[in-house]
Structure 1
Amino acid sequence: MGRSYYVDESVQKYFTRIAHQKNNFVTGLLIGQCSSQRDYIVLAARTPQKEDPGEGPQKSKSKPEEIDEEWFCVHASQVSRMLPGGFLLVGVFLISPPELSKEAPTILRKLIFTTEKFAMKDKLWNVADEEITDRVALQICSSTNKIVCRTFDVKDLKSTAKPADWKYQSAPMSWLTIECNINVDLTVSLPSSATYQEQQKCTRTRLAQWAKEIEESTMLFNGRVRDEGGDLVEEQKKGRSAPSGRQIVSATVITSSNISGRSTARVQVCNSSLKIQGVVKCRGYVCNSKPKVKDAIQIIKRDLLNTISDRCEITFEDLILNRSVCDFEKAPCALPLPQRVFVPIPASGAALCDYIIGEETREEVQSRFLEMLDHEVNYEDLDFVEEGRSAPAEEEAVCKPSGDEKCPGRKDVPSSSLSPGVGIIIAAAVVLVAILVYFLK
């Protein structure tokens, strides 16, 4: 027996609207949540039109070989950044006329595996053995609206198609919200005269080390340690309610450094460093149908790892594109990481997220949400969970040189200076503390 996908009714209306436009080929992504019991689809987003400089939007595809696989994967990579804890790219869809239906299964299979590859690229966590790795390939006839639903196991490159059920639901799905504020304090050592790409590589390496600490951390729900195999619903009854009426469970992450306050000393030669500091606001969603504590733990930890990694990637991409450089002769450079904003999913108590870079406006967020997810967002519905911050109250990257090197940043953010040679003094102090701690054990 194949898997069953429970789909929000708004997705059905979305497909009907697209089919009526009589395009030859329409590809897109399916967003939802997988579980051992049921799989849920909350949103569908077609691939945006690719625009060539000076030529405008491209015409709709009339042949299978005209589908731009690379552009499809770029879209998938961008959308994966907009998914909070609990949501993932569950699969892909293809709307095509009946005369091209024979080519559809081959196209869908190829898109399924390439999408998974791009969505999982540079993730700080690994898929667990017991996780559901089936992804759905949905084929829709633009003339008859006939649906063919199949699944492929993305961990098996030789996987064959399996039949699956596609069930629309008129009643909105009920989602339980898990929220967590986590203090992050990371230092990334940078070599002398490092390029943006080298700094990016050093940051990824440091984040991978930090990810191991997060994976080994303990999590509290509403202030209590819970049995991972137990139901989270019991805790939900005591959870607070938001003004919108959604139920919220508060989570707290406890790491080994939080408990002991000590860590292994490490000396590394470097000329500058990048500090990532502040309070990260995490959010995850789990379908309110007997959710397990272990699912909630995984959702929040992955949201934390994803949001920090994505913000760093976005920052470096912005620096590489704009070639921004700040002068450190007088002061180090503060780099406020992109600000997180949540956007409600239509007809759902859940939300997706986006990131604001620099002085971007709400209108730009609305425009990007429309481009990436093909859905309009009301101005007043945007939820700026980090609004009104002042550096470094929220997460912020600060590059501090110990010599005359320069590193990327913004000139308009003041910060305290760090004189030459301070890095060497700090390294020596760390060594002395480590020796004292060793002999005092």
Structure 2
Amino acid sequence: MGLTVIGEDSVENYLFSLFGKVPLEIGLLIGQNFGQKAYIVSPIRTPDPEELSDEQSEEPKKAQPKSLDQFDIGWVAEHARQVNSSLPGGIKVVGIYVFASPDVIQSGINGRLKQILNAAWKANRLEMQHATSVVDNKSLCPGNGILLYVSSNTKKISCKSFDINNPHTSAQPTDWKCQNFIGRCHYLRCAFLADASIMVRSSSSGNLSNEIMVSLTNVNKQLTAAHAMINSELREPSQLLVTGKNTNTAQTFTVDLYNSYKNIANATTKPQEADYKYAININGEMDCFAYVHNKATVAEAIHAIKVDIIRSLHARIRLLCEDVEQNEPKLNERRYRWSIPRRVKYEHPKFRLKICDYMFKDEDVKLSLERISDLYGSEMQTCKMESAEEFPDEQLIKIPTKQSVQPDATNPPQKSADNSERASSMQLIVAILIGIIAIIIFAWFGYNLK
């Protein structure tokens, strides 16, 4: 049985609006996919790099791509990564669309278009690996990439799918249907109380962001072991989220995740000082939300919230690391504080789902709207911002002293041969307070390991 792809009417309306306006266009498809079904919420046009360049630049602009070979695969992948980071749980980049002549489409289905699809899908491969690790049922993380293509001559819409996990696969036939479903999607909200530590070993190499992302294993373990309650009730995972006659009515659910003390202790265990160079302590409450289709099971709802937690952590840490790396000289100071960006939400005016951005303390709403508009289009510029998170009062954040982290007394580090070498370490503290998120980075120098 092949994959069935269900798209909102607005998807076809947008694709048909391109007829006679542009010869060639490529963009992303955002939606949900599970089992043998996929839902397309909206197409998101990938902007040309020149559109986001400085308007004052005197460099001549390049002509818009007229063939598939002229599309920058890396640029499409970066667009997919940024869009995916701004989406709520349950919604993700599920494929790409292309508007072109039949000859261009047919020549590129198993070639250039497949390469672009793979790049867009795998732009978030690390996040997908973590998302897969928090569930036992791997069917909740399907690997079907969707290619939707429209003939610029006949307006005919066709759809194919690829098994992203199999690089040798060819395009598979897919059924395409139009059906309004967004109005029936259920909204999930969760105030997740995080309590875990992320450790980066001293032997790790590479940039700071990648090292920390790989070290999110403890958080994944904590999420995997977490018990979920929906509207304060324990539910059977295989049970439908909504039963009875109300399945076609959108509803809001509160999801609570609970960890045992044993799981929290395992997630927050700190290795001896000589073993790591960065320690990120995550403590407090995160504002998380997700959407699921009207026939979703309890397991799908819980998975959507867990993915949103992982995605939000990834986005914040990545942005923070970029800020840290740009201000590397400040790491030489004995103590320095960085604030992690808070999560803000905007409701998209077309498909009526909330998307998000991450704002640093020194940024304003205008700058945030510019970033969202770059990703989703100019219609986002009039949206209103909402947020359940605030930046903390700096007086509420305590900076630990050197004595607050000590080597393991049962396994002390060895002295060097000349007993004169000194080890230095830097500890990265992430404090996510109730409705508050902040990161403290500080450094110790001249710490004599004995």
Report TM bin, short chain: 0.7 to 0.9
- 1:118 is matched with 123
Q: Distance in 2 between the 1:236 and 1:357 partners?
A: 45
- 2:213 is matched with 204
Deviation at 1:198, TM superposition (A): 5.6
Q: Which amino acid aligns with 1:26?
A: E
- 2:35 is matched with 36
- 1:157 is matched with 167
- 1:101 is matched with 105
Q: Distance in 1 between the 2:268 and 2:124 partners?
A: 34
Tell me whether 1:137 sits opposite 2:147 in the alignment.
Answer: yes
The answer to whether the 8 Å contact 1:219/1:254 transfers is yes
The answer to whether the 8 Å contact 1:223/1:252 transfers is yes
- 1:18 is matched with 18
Q: Distance in 2 between the 1:71 and 1:335 partners?
A: 29
Q: Distance in 2 between the 1:54 and 1:400 partners?
A: 51
Instruction: Note the 1:28-427 alignment, pairs <5 A.
Output: 28-36=27-35, 38-51=37-50, 54-55=58-59, 57-105=61-109, 106-123=111-128, 124-126=130-132, 129-131=138-140, 132-169=142-179, 172-189=182-199, 199-234=208-243, 247-257=251-261, 266-270=270-274, 273-288=279-294, 290-323=295-328, 325=330, 328-329=333-334, 332-374=335-377, 376-377=379-380, 379-386=382-389, 388-391=390-393
Per the alignment, do residues 144 and 304 of structure 1 end up closer, same or farther by CA in structure 2, a change over 3 Å counting? same
Per the alignment, do residues 167 and 346 of structure 1 end up closer, same or farther by CA in structure 2, a change over 3 Å counting? farther
Q: Distance in 1 between the 2:321 and 2:63 partners?
A: 33
Q: Deviations for 1:355-389, whole angstroms, at most 9, x for unmatched residues?
A: 12332222222222221123522545322232x44
Per the alignment, do residues 142 and 391 of structure 1 end up closer, same or farther by CA in structure 2, a change over 3 Å counting? farther
Deviation at 1:324, TM superposition (A): 6.0
Deviates more, 1:48-57 or 1:80-89: 48-57
Per the alignment, do residues 272 and 204 of structure 1 end up closer, same or farther by CA in structure 2, a change over 3 Å counting? closer
Matched position secondary structure for 1:377: helix
Q: Deviations for 1:381-416, whole angstroms, at most 9, x for unmatched residues?
A: 322232x4424799x99897679766789xxx9989
The answer to whether the 8 Å contact 2:425/2:445 transfers is no
The answer to whether the 8 Å contact 1:180/1:252 transfers is yes
Deviation at 1:343, TM superposition (A): 2.2
Q: Distance in 1 between the 2:269 and 2:280 partners?
A: 18
Unaligned runs of 5+ in 1: 238-244, 426-441
Q: Distance in 2 between the 1:236 and 1:423 partners?
A: 69
Q: Under a length normalisation based on structure 1, what TM-score does the superposition of the two structures give?
A: 0.79
Q: Distance in 2 between the 1:278 and 1:268 partners?
A: 24
Per the alignment, do residues 37 and 173 of structure 1 end up closer, same or farther by CA in structure 2, a change over 3 Å counting? farther
The answer to whether the 8 Å contact 1:339/1:355 transfers is yes
Per the alignment, do residues 65 and 327 of structure 1 end up closer, same or farther by CA in structure 2, a change over 3 Å counting? closer
Q: Which amino acid aligns with 2:6?
A: Y
Q: Distance in 2 between the 1:318 and 1:275 partners?
A: 18
Q: Under a length normalisation based on structure 2, what TM-score does the superposition of the two structures give?
A: 0.78
Per the alignment, do residues 401 and 74 of structure 1 end up closer, same or farther by CA in structure 2, a change over 3 Å counting? farther
Deviation at 1:337, TM superposition (A): 1.5
The answer to whether the 8 Å contact 2:425/2:443 transfers is no
Matched position secondary structure for 1:225: coil
Q: Which amino acid aligns with 1:325?
A: K
Deviates more, 1:343-352 or 1:31-40: 343-352
Matched position secondary structure for 1:233: coil
The answer to whether the 8 Å contact 2:99/2:151 transfers is yes
The answer to whether the 8 Å contact 2:230/2:255 transfers is yes
Q: Deviations for 1:188-228, whole angstroms, at most 9, x for unmatched residues?
A: 45678999x56445533432222122112211111121111
Deviation at 1:169, TM superposition (A): 3.0
Deviates more, 1:10-19 or 1:220-229: 10-19
Per the alignment, do residues 217 and 155 of structure 1 end up closer, same or farther by CA in structure 2, a change over 3 Å counting? same
Matched position secondary structure for 1:70: helix
Q: Distance in 1 between the 2:186 and 2:66 partners?
A: 42
Q: Distance in 2 between the 1:171 and 1:260 partners?
A: 39
Matched position secondary structure for 2:236: coil
Q: Deviations for 1:127-157, whole angstroms, at most 9, x for unmatched residues?
A: 7532432221111122332212111111222
Q: Deviations for 1:208-264, whole angstroms, at most 9, x for unmatched residues?
A: 222122112211111121111111114997xxxxxxx96211111111237886778
Q: Distance in 1 between the 2:69 and 2:171 partners?
A: 21
Deviation at 1:89, TM superposition (A): 1.2
The answer to whether the 8 Å contact 1:282/1:303 transfers is yes
Deviation at 1:279, TM superposition (A): 1.3
Q: Which amino acid aligns with 2:375?
A: M
Q: Which amino acid aligns with 1:232?
A: L
